[in-house]
C-alpha cells in the first residue's frame, strides 16, 4: 500500500508538467532554450501537434500502465503493449499527415 501512495505522490508533479505542456506546447518546448536564439523561433504545426499528442497520450495511458504493475489481473498485463501500440499509431498519423493546420 505504501508503494502505491509514493507512486501517486511522485506522479502529481509529472501530471502538472504534462498538463502545462498540453496547454502551452510552444512554451514547454522552448523552456530553458530561448537564450540560444536571437529571434523568437517559429515551431511548425506538426511539432505542436506531436507535443500535444504525447502529453495527452501520457496523461491517459500512464495510469493504466502503472495500475497494471500493481494489479495481478491478466487483462491489465496487456496495458504496456497497448500503450506502445497507440503511441506508434498516433505518432505515425501525426508525422505522415500532409496538411499543415
Interval 54-64: pLDDT, tens: 898 888 888 87
> Which grid cell sits at 70?
500493481
**Domain residue limits at 87:** 2-95
Q: Torsion angle, CA of 45/38/29/91, rounded to 10 degrees?
A: 40
Most confident region among 17-21, 36-40, 51-55 by mean pLDDT: 17-21
Output the pTM of the full model. Answer: 0.71
* Assigned domain for 19 exists: yes
69-97: average pLDDT = 75
Judge whether residue 101 has pLDDT over 70.
no
Q: Which pLDDT does position 89 carry in this prediction?
A: 82
Q: Which pLDDT does position 75 carry in this prediction?
A: 66
Q: Which pLDDT does position 17 carry in this prediction?
A: 93
* Assigned domain for 101 exists: no
Q: How many domains does the chain have?
A: 1
* Assigned domain for 84 exists: yes
Of the candidates 15, 10, 37, 11, the residue with the CA atom closest to the CA atom of residue 26: 37
User: How far is it, in rounded angstroms, from Cα 24 to Cα 21?
Assistant: 5
16-40: average pLDDT = 86
Amino acid at each position: 500500500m505504501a508503494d502505491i501512495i509514493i507512486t501517486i505522490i511522485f506522479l502529481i508533479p509529472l501530471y502538472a508538467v504534462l498538463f502545462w505542456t498540453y496547454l502551452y506546447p510552444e512554451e514547454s518546448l522552448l523552456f530553458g532554450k530561448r537564450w540560444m536564439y536571437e529571434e523568437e523561433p517559429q515551431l511548425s504545426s506538426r511539432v505542436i501537434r506531436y507535443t500535444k499528442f504525447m502529453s495527452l497520450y501520457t496523461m491517459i495511458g500512464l495510469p493504466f500502465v502503472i495500475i497494471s504493475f500493481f494489479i495481478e489481473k491478466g487483462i491489465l498485463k496487456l496495458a504496456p503493449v497497448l500503450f506502445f501500440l497507440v503511441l506508434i499509431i498516433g505518432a505515425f498519423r501525426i508525422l505522415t499527415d500532409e496538411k499543415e493546420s
